[in-house]
């Protein structure tokens, strides 16, 4: 029988940083990330579709849920990936993508995650390297997984074009 103390514990982190395809791809490169899924969080409609979120003002953000092994990668390291892979000073947009579904947000799953997110946001705000950071830090709610064709979309697109 395996020793339960050696069984890795997997934790969940959820981030919104614009279009979820690129955000997911960034997290998938991190050692210790065991799985990712793209979907929606922070809105007011149950089980929204991509079309609902984009065109029907549900209040959801495009989000990436990350399953990670904290023995291999810390939540703080994941926060660094989050901060470094988007512009946290843009309100309800990232580059050409505009709307509250593209907002910058950390959806925390524990008080420890909340404290870490607040601390890193304050540290980066005080560094002067950015303008004022508008990232929201809020408790995680239900994560609604996006349609299958959105999952690992950039990887799928690269594979499809590599055979041309």
Check residue 4 and give left, alpha or beta (phi > 0: left; psi -120 to 50: alpha). alpha
Higher-confidence residue of 67 and 57: namely 67
Query: What's the mean pLDDT in 71-92?
Result: 96
pLDDT tens per residue across span 98-148? 999 999 999 999 999 999 999 999 999 998 887 899 999 999 999 999 876
Tell me, yes or no, if 19 is annotated catalytic. Answer: yes
pLDDT in tens, 5-44: 555 699 999 999 998 988 999 999 999 999 999 999 999 9
Measure the CA–CA gap between 53 and 39, rounded to whole angstroms.
Answer: 10
Tokens of 149: 């064709």
Question: What are the strands, taking DSSP E only, across the chain?
Answer: 11-17, 33-41, 61-68, 93-94, 97-98, 104-108, 136-139, 144-145
User: What's the predicted TM-score (pTM) here?
Assistant: 0.87
The encoded tokens of residue 44 equal 């007011």
Instruction: Return contacts of 94-102, CB within 8 angstroms, 24+ apart.
Output: 94/17, 94/18, 94/19, 95/18, 97/18, 97/19, 99/54, 100/59, 100/61, 101/40, 101/53, 101/54, 101/58, 101/60, 101/61, 101/62, 102/16, 102/18, 102/19, 102/61, 102/62
pLDDT at 90 over 50: yes
Instruction: Name all domains of the chain by residue range, CATH numbers in brackets.
Output: 11-158 (3.30.1060.10)
Catalytic-role residue among 13, 19, 53, 79: 19
| Per-residue model confidence (pLDDT) at position 140 | 98
Higher pLDDT, 2 or 117: 117
Q: Which residue has the higher pLDDT, 129 or 149?
A: 129
Query: Residue with structure tokens 């980066």?
Result: 124
162 pLDDT band (50/70/90 cuts)? very low
When pLDDT is cut at 50, 70 and 90, the band that residue 163 belongs to is: very low
* Alpha carbons 33 and 35: distance in angstroms, whole number: 6
Q: Quick one: pLDDT band at residue 151, thresholds 50, 70, 90? A: confident
């Amino acid at each position: 029988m395996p020793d339960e103390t050696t069984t890795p514990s997997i934790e969940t982190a959820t981030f919104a940083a614009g279009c979820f395809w690129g955000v997911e791809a960034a997290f998938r490169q991190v050692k210790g990330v065991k799985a990712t899924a793209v979907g929606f969080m922070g809105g007011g409609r149950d089980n929204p579709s991509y079309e609902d979120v984009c065109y029907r003002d549900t209040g959801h953000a495009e989000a990436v849920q990350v399953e990670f092994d904290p023995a291999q990668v810390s939540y703080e390291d994941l926060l660094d990936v989050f901060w470094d892979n988007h512009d946290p000073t843009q309100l309800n947009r990232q580059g050409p993508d505009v709307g509250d579904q593209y907002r910058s947000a950390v959806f925390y799953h524990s008080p420890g995650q909340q404290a870490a997110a607040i601390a890193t946001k304050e540290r980066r705000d005080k560094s002067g390297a950015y303008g004022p950071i508008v990232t929201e830090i809020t408790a995680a709610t239900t994560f609604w997984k996006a349609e299958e064709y959105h999952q690992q979309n950039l990887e799928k697109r690269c594979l499809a074009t590599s055979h041309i």
